[in-house]
Structure 1
Amino acid sequence: MEKISQSLQDVLGHVQAVGTSLHIADPDTPETGPSKVSNSAQSWPASAPASQQLSEGASVTSTLQIEQLPPFLNIPDLPTAINDRLPSEEILQELVELFFELIYPWVPLFHKPSFRANLFSPGRQILLHGIVVVAFRFWRQPAPSAEVRDNYVKISREQILLSTIDTCSLISTQALALLAVDAIGQGPGPRTWNIMAMLITASKQIGLAKGFSPAGTETNTALVRNEDPDENLDLSSIEVEEKRRLFWTIYSLDRFFSVSHGQSCSIDTKSINLQYPARDEDWGQPVAPEWFQGTAAIRSTHVRCLANLWHYNIDLLALLDRSNQLLIQPLNFSLPAHCQEWQSSFRRLDIAMSTWFENLPREVRERPANFDPMWTMIHATFHLIRIRMYTVAASPSTKSLYLRPSSSAPARCRQAVRDVAYLTICLQPHELDQLGPTFAFVVWVAARSLVILWTKGYESTYGSIPADLEPLLSALRQLSLRWPCAQRYNDIIQLILDTKNNPGGPTGLEIFNDTRRTVYGLQNHLGLLAGHRIPEMYSHSLDFLDMDLDDLTSPWTGTFGSEMDSEWL
């Protein structure tokens, strides 16, 4: 072994001598095309530890020396690191096409021409890892195999996490947003909320929620702040729009993530001082921006941009936040004043929702001639808010003399579920591919509320499954081909259906019908009951959303009836 080491040292010494004497590389000579040296430099991970970078630097130095050898030495080319961590350029380009076709419609982060033009730039390699993570699930070719694809995705997830721990920039946060989309698609749990916490923190650190207005200085200015007031002055209009779109994407993910976990949203609407995103065709054009008014009443029309559905979706997400705050608000059910105040807030929000929808422009309210993912998400989110509110109003989880079930809420909830079912019926499989895990969550909420109504006696016949349940489950099964969370939603529903004829009722029905529980809490408790259906990783997770179930003593059928002796809605 010592002889081998000595021989290697002699060879490297000879290589250095030959390279020096021949003067193969002239640093003053401009390169006419991409070289192996530049490819090697591009492949260095930004997040690599110092020791790893040192070893890679030494490897690249050796590579430079070997590349400078004359042909007669016949030393083969060394593979670049990009081949080890990322797929080939051909596969990456195909993944980018899949991203813009299937994910961009509801995560419109990037400027398409600029993104494609700078696809393989050294400083943007972390974005390629993000594309690998979210787009490989839509791969249509037999090669690479599923095992190889999974390995690429695993490596890219790790690369994004390692990079974003040490770096906080626009590009790294864009990659982290793509990783958050992937995590939400996996389903609620510790990994998802940890990645979302990183994403929210990064958005605050780089000041995404505050837009730059060249017309004048800010009205309210903090005496101490981390942001540089001149930070955005050197950004191009395309980069400014990318920052804006990144924030609104994070804003949307935060709303759905918080609702699915039963917690407050991390981004305070009152802290947002930003313009709405521009339309794709207006990107980089001198168009007067419209500012988001978080503290004012939600508008039903946008004067400058009636056709930009994203504006209406942003406004609706503010209503989703308000409804979520109402439902998770702690309440003393033994005090009539508290219950009456909560009911008044419920009615005001219900009226605001109806007014907002009725005043929408016709092109937003009515179904477009061609499928539009953003239009579908607007209507799905609107029905989601109604279903969550009416389900709680129809079946309060805590019994109180002062907060009784509403007699009209079941019918309103049933109509909202029917609307979601109709949305799914109108969607083709390839159109469902353009709707992400947030749409799967809407379908899950609709299906669960329908089962609650069904098992509590609202449906006429218990023996037959409600007509609208099958299209909802069919949509979940189709979505589960791309997003694992949809499979978990479907498994929980299927557990109730498979055990509906058991003596004493379906397995775990009391837990399922407890409207205080989120999907994360249901996964933890029904995972053991469902056996192989729910992954074991969730059955042992800590559920900080658990609540006492001592008051759930009523039978599982016939709940709607004698208690409906008052109407407050």
Structure 2
Amino acid sequence: MEAEVSVQEDRPACRACRKRKLRCSREVPLCAHCRRIGTTCEYDGEREKPGLKAGAVEALRKRVEALENAVFHQERSEEHRPVSDSSAVATALREGMELLLGQLQQQPHTRKRPCEDSVSDVPCSPSNKRRRVNDTLIEPDDYSFSDLSSSLPPPAVLEAVVDSYFALVQPWIPIFHEKRFRRRLRSADKSRLEVVLHAMVVAMLKHVDQSVLPADLKDIEAVCERSRKIVVLTAMDDLYVENLQALIIICFEDIGSGRVSRAWPIVGSLTRTVEYLQLSVESENHDTGRVLQPRPSLPVAADWVEEEERRRVFWTVFNLDRFCSVTTGWNTSLTSNDVHRRLPADGGLWHNEEPVTTPFFGIWDRSAGKIGTLIAFLPTDKPSPTAQVDMSTVGAFAYRVEATESLSRVTTFFLQQRINHRDRQEMGSWLMRFKELDLRLVSWKMFLPQKWKDTNISRQPTVVTMDPNLTLAHITHNTSMILLHQRIAYPPPEWLEVVKLPTLSSAETCEAAAAETANITEKYLGNCPREGVVDSQFAFCVFVSARVLLVHWRYYGTPLSPDYWTLMKCLDAMATRWSGRVQANRQNSAARYFGQLNAIHRACQSDENFKLDVLGYSNEIEWTGDSQQTAPAAVPESTAGLSQVAFPPDLPAMLHSSPARMSYNTGSPDELTTVTSILLDQQYSEMDRIISLNNAYFASDVAYST
């Protein structure tokens, strides 16, 4: 290849390099810059004459306005001067400058606007500042935001992107009414959807058949990065529901791709923007109870279908906020003071445009949730209307919202609470909170409607079609049980000197929850399309389940459960599916979870003194920086799959120091003693807490159950 490249020093730079003010290598047929970005390299044989710089006309116009203002200010300050003289000066000045501007605009060498370039070109910057060498860093002036369609892929590719989105991503973040979206896409009034289309390109271009992509779209990473920047810059420019939808897709992609540090700022912005748009409250409650009414930012929804779409946008942002809190240990942004929303309706009813009324969902008040306050008396929400609401109107997405909030409650009202384990009163209150949350989770599972207790929504006995959101709701519930019980199941040795804990019962709960999560996940991945992607919350639940099995193995010295390897296989499959049709990206979230578990397992095998923090899941993995950075030391730099991981047929017990002797100092009867006696009661410990594949059956009557 190098022998075919010719360089001519006196040849002018190519057009692309001249437009972007880059140093051209002058190679034929492609210079270095054009070869790297995959654009057309053209030499026109002559240098362009210096033309009017972009922005010069606007600068001159501003100067005219400044001069006019100065003249009229001078008129006011010099009252002795006749008014007609000042007006004559201003008129003459205006006519002269407008004549000059007209002549300048007629110059033949005016630069083209970036939107006139083909989509394959990297748009030029009209700024006079020197461009950075790294061309993937796109400045705000690089694009004409008045016409986003010019930078979209060709219609055939765009159609494939939209089809892939509704097949693979819409089930996890159901924020569009598909029939209306496609109808609107074919109409003339689709300008606000262009930012959404760019977001879909970011998430789905890697899943499109590569044979249909033109040459200028082969560099998928560069195209997606460009579209992502367009989305972020455009969506922050105004308050539209479409902008929120585009940013939600970007968050879904960033988190799943392992670039969570890029997603959290957007999540923070989304949680505030849904309040600005008043999406956190029902439309009938916008103007009630306030002396100072908030400024309306959105027109009233045209009908129930549009109102339900807005409602689903809010609950998707709510899920992102809760997921962010659970995985990082940060506080939630959307609180009980902000939220007064009905649950999303059943997806089939929404798809068929059948209006229904759903119940309100109560959010616990964090400020009233300190240890020592009974949950039974926590204010949950404003009182709902007195009319009876049919619970059959909600669907799988609503149960996912409830399960995600339960997971967040365990983190917020239990794990994040400060506790002095040597204070018997505080420990008694903390264990009372544990019991209350445990009973809440058991109650949620017990009163789950019969048709929503099984994730198989197929009407045909031989066909297994598992609803994504209902499946995620079930394993999220099991993960809540793990996070709630694991501190009780594997306590620090010093705790056992103060209180007697139901460690064995909680350990059995953790093992059972992890085992059922493995069964559900394996069944789901085995019956969904091979190209189907999985939500990051799903991967997190699998990670927590696999990790608690490692903790159990390490703490009690028992053989490592075979379910651990099942969960590892599932994570590896998730990581592969996320990469789509391009080369596997081993830095996406599922791959990082896989690598972290691998690192912990190796550390346990190689070091008898290795200490595994039971609650270290929130800070073990380094998420900062983009996905191309080197992985942290604790995680293997490349996890090419399970073929590189040893799966021993026999998993002998770990040789390590025995766990602390369970000797207890009960002291005098008090609240702590009372609570522990309840927790150690056999009837309490044997409650059915875990959702499994075999404890219920249901079939949905609708095609769109989410």
Q: In the TM superposition, what is the alpha-carbon distance from 1:334 to its structure 2 partner?
A: 2.8
Q: In the TM superposition, what is the alpha-carbon distance from 1:279 to its structure 2 partner?
A: 2.9
Instruction: After TM superposition, list the pairs within 5 Å mapping 1:140-155 onto structure 2.
Output: 140-144=209-213, 148-155=219-226
Alignment partners' CA distance in 1, 2:415 and 2:259: 19
Residue 173 of structure 2 is aligned to residue 107 of structure 1: yes
Aligned counterpart in structure 1 of residue 250 of structure 2, from 179, 183, 186? 179
Alignment partners' CA distance in 2, 1:304 and 1:252: 21
Q: Find the counterpart in structure 2 of residue 477 from structure 1.
A: 572
Q: Find the counterpart in structure 2 of residue 428 from structure 1.
A: 525
Is residue 358–residue 393 contact of structure 2 (8 Å, CA) maintained in 1?
A: no
Residue 194 of structure 2 is aligned to residue 125 of structure 1: yes
Q: Find the counterpart in structure 2 of residue 498 from structure 1.
A: 602
Give the secondary structure class of the aligned counterpart of 1:110: coil
* Residue identity opposite 2:163 in structure 1: E
Alignment partners' CA distance in 2, 1:403 and 1:564: 6
Give the secondary structure class of the aligned counterpart of 2:608: coil
Work out which of the two has the higher radius of gyration on C-alpha atoms and give 1 or 2.
Answer: 2
Q: Count the aligned residue pairs.
A: 490
Is residue 282–residue 341 contact of structure 2 (8 Å, CA) maintained in 1?
A: yes
Q: Find the counterpart in structure 1 of residue 489 from structure 2.
A: 394
Alignment partners' CA distance in 1, 2:506 and 2:601: 24
When normalised by structure 2's length, the TM-score is: 0.62
Q: In the TM superposition, what is the alpha-carbon distance from 1:364 to its structure 2 partner?
A: 1.0
Distance 1:140 1:396, change over 3 A: farther
Residue 427 of structure 2 is aligned to residue 331 of structure 1: no
When structure 1 is superposed on structure 2, of 308-317 and 289-298 the one drifting more is: 289-298
Instruction: After TM superposition, list the pairs within 5 Å mapping 1:106-505 onto structure 2.
Output: 106-119=172-185, 121-144=190-213, 148-187=219-258, 189-213=260-284, 219=288, 221-228=289-296, 231-233=298-300, 235-283=302-350, 284-294=353-363, 295-296=379-380, 303-305=390-392, 308-325=395-412, 326-368=414-456, 369=458, 370-396=465-491, 399-400=494-495, 401-402=497-498, 405-407=501-503, 408-429=505-526, 430-431=528-529, 433-459=532-558, 461=559, 465-481=560-576, 482=578, 484-504=588-608
Q: What per-residue deviation string (whole Å, max 9, x for no partner) do you get for residues 357-416 of structure 1? A: 112121111342422112201111110100111112112358434356532211111111
Q: In the TM superposition, what is the alpha-carbon distance from 1:288 to its structure 2 partner?
A: 3.2
Is residue 157–residue 179 contact of structure 1 (8 Å, CA) maintained in 2?
A: yes
**5+ residue gaps, structure 2:** 1-45, 53-101, 128-138, 364-378, 459-464, 580-587, 625-630, 640-654, 667-675, 680-706
Is residue 405–residue 564 contact of structure 1 (8 Å, CA) maintained in 2?
A: no
Is residue 549–residue 564 contact of structure 2 (8 Å, CA) maintained in 1?
A: yes
Structure 1 stretches (4+) deviating beyond 6 angstroms? 9-12, 39-43, 48-57
Q: In the TM superposition, what is the alpha-carbon distance from 1:189 to its structure 2 partner?
A: 4.6
When structure 1 is superposed on structure 2, of 249-258 and 361-370 the one drifting more is: 361-370
Alignment partners' CA distance in 2, 1:273 and 1:218: 13
Q: What per-residue deviation string (whole Å, max 9, x for no partner) do you get for residues 208-256 of structure 1? A: 101112xx8755x23335332x954364433322211100111112111
Q: Find the counterpart in structure 2 of residue 69 from structure 1.
A: none
Q: What per-residue deviation string (whole Å, max 9, x for no partner) do you get for residues 126-173 of structure 1? A: 001111122234334345389522112111211122123322221111
Give the secondary structure class of the aligned counterpart of 2:409: helix
Distance 1:100 1:56, change over 3 A: closer
Distance 1:177 1:421, change over 3 A: same
Distance 1:494 1:289, change over 3 A: closer
Distance 1:517 1:117, change over 3 A: same
* Residue identity opposite 1:378 in structure 2: A
Alignment partners' CA distance in 2, 1:565 and 1:139: 64
Is residue 403–residue 476 contact of structure 2 (8 Å, CA) maintained in 1?
A: yes
Is residue 183–residue 191 contact of structure 1 (8 Å, CA) maintained in 2?
A: yes
Output the aligned Cα RMSD: 4.0
Distance 1:351 1:42, change over 3 A: farther
Query: Which protein has the bigger helix share?
Result: 1
What is the percent sequence identity of the aligned residues? Answer: 21
Is residue 488–residue 533 contact of structure 1 (8 Å, CA) maintained in 2?
A: no
Is residue 301–residue 307 contact of structure 2 (8 Å, CA) maintained in 1?
A: no
Residue 593 of structure 2 is aligned to residue 527 of structure 1: no
**5+ residue gaps, structure 1:** 17-36, 61-79, 535-554
Q: In the TM superposition, what is the alpha-carbon distance from 1:557 to its structure 2 partner?
A: 4.4
